[in-house]
Amino acid sequence: MPSHETLKVELAERSYDIYVGDGLLAEAGALIKPVIRSQRLIVVTDENVAPLYLAGLENSLEAAGLSSESIILPAGEQTKSIAYFEQLIDQILAKKIDRQCTLVALGGGVIGDLTGYAAASVLRGIDFVQIPTTLLSQVDSSVGGKTGINAAHGKNLIGAFYQPRLVLADIDTLDTLPQREILAGYAEVAKYGLIDDPEFFAWLEQTGIDLCNGNKDHRRQAVLKSCQSKAKIVAEDETEQGRRALLNLGHTFGHTLEAETGFSDKLLHGEAVGLGICLAFDLSAHLGLCTKDDANRTRAHYAAVGLPTSPTEIDGVEWHTDALLNHMQSDKKVENGKVTFILVRAIGEAFVARDINMADARLIVDKAIRQN
Ligand code: NAD
Ligand code: GLY
């Protein structure tokens, strides 16, 4: 098997390649060099990823004749904030960069979103490359150009659509990822099957447990398939005027649960998405849009790999229906005062629903937080 496969995100002059494979960090310099405008790069990473992968990346850049400096930030969602955005921009500008300089995001979705937004903003836009090192960032956040940070008022409320020049998804980096983070990323993998690819979901039902437990072939195939699905949707609808909203399956409920935990480690983003997907299926079944069997099958699969499927499984959080409904109404998925949901007619048949009666959403939330 070749060391990597290549996909393209087709966006006219903003098109770029996604490489998915093994050993890509060692090849990064040679792969990045043809797509950037100068020899100068700044690698942005976090304190967990730096000791594992920064030196390897720097060696590879140097071997390709590229000069790099690095900025290491604290790990975790709190880094995707205005305070760290300011700190990052200051550090970048202190290096006296010009517009030909390239930022490289080496890490998970936090580093990717923050670095991408810094690239979109500094000097009115410089190039950036994504090297995602979590399953979640390899299958979702590094592709498609959504960049940004959280605000006191909510998640991802500040940001820009800004595409990278290249994405390098090195499957080997997943070997060091804690199991809880693998599972969180897996929630987004299964999402692609649930949106519009029932065969992929059926394949995951066969392979998902092995994949989560370390099977590299399955991981590679799943990352490839997920990136293919995402690249196709992004090429059709880069700025989420329509179909791209389907990628938010599980996010209306999920962001609400995350907000209630203060975006803390009590509930990871991917875990929240998995829970949110279960609730979106519950709401769909409650409204008679999909069968209870489809809702049960989805929940059973998430449970089988070891993901939480009910908010009551999350330790140390007291859930309140009113508070959850409040968060839902201040999310950025509210349009003309109406909360947007992604619901399903079946596994693999998601659609955008803008006319949902909030009494029905309340009922689902209320039931979910009381379940034992
Ligand atoms: P993360 O970036 O916080 O990474 C998770 C943890 O794993 C961190 O502690 C990190 O230091 C550590 N880590 C990263 N790679 C590692 C490795 N290879 N080995 C060991 N540890 C490693 O979280 P995430 O789940 O990657 O990303 C979540 C973020 O992504 C959220 O902020 C979410 O909003 C965002 N997101 C963005 C998009 C988008 O389209 N832009 C899509 C989905 C999610
Ligand atoms: N993660 C949702 C999107 O990229 O649109």
Task: Say how many Å lie between the first and final Cα of the chain, rounded.
Answer: 47
Give ligand 1 pocket residues (Cβ under 6 A): 46, 48-49, 52, 75-77, 80, 107-111, 113, 133-134, 136-137, 140-141, 144, 146, 156, 173, 176-177, 181, 184, 269-270
One digit per residue, pLDDT tens: the chain, 372 residues? 458 999 999 999 999 999 999 999 999 999 999 999 988 999 999 999 999 999 999 999 999 999 999 999 999 999 999 999 999 999 999 999 999 999 999 999 999 999 999 999 999 999 999 999 999 999 999 999 999 999 888 789 999 999 999 999 999 999 999 999 999 999 999 999 999 999 999 999 999 999 999 999 999 999 999 999 999 999 999 999 999 999 999 999 999 999 899 888 999 999 999 999 999 999 999 999 999 999 999 999 999 999 999 999 999 999 999 999 999 987 766 777 789 999 999 999 999 999 999 999 999 999 999 975
**C-alpha of residue 188 to centroid of ligand 2, in Å:** 10
Specify whether domain 4-176 bears CATH 3.40.50.1970: yes
> What pTM value is reported for the model?
0.97
Write down the architecture of domain 192-369 according to CATH.
Up-down Bundle (1.20)
**C-alpha of residue 20 to centroid of ligand 2, in Å:** 19
Length, in residues, of the chain: 372
Three-state secondary structure call for residue 334: strand
Amino acid identity for residue 36 in this structure: I
Q: Is 255 one of the annotated active-site residues of the chain?
A: yes
Domain chopping of the chain, boundaries: 4-176, 192-369
Three-state secondary structure call for residue 345: strand
Q: Is 153 one of the annotated active-site residues of the chain?
A: no
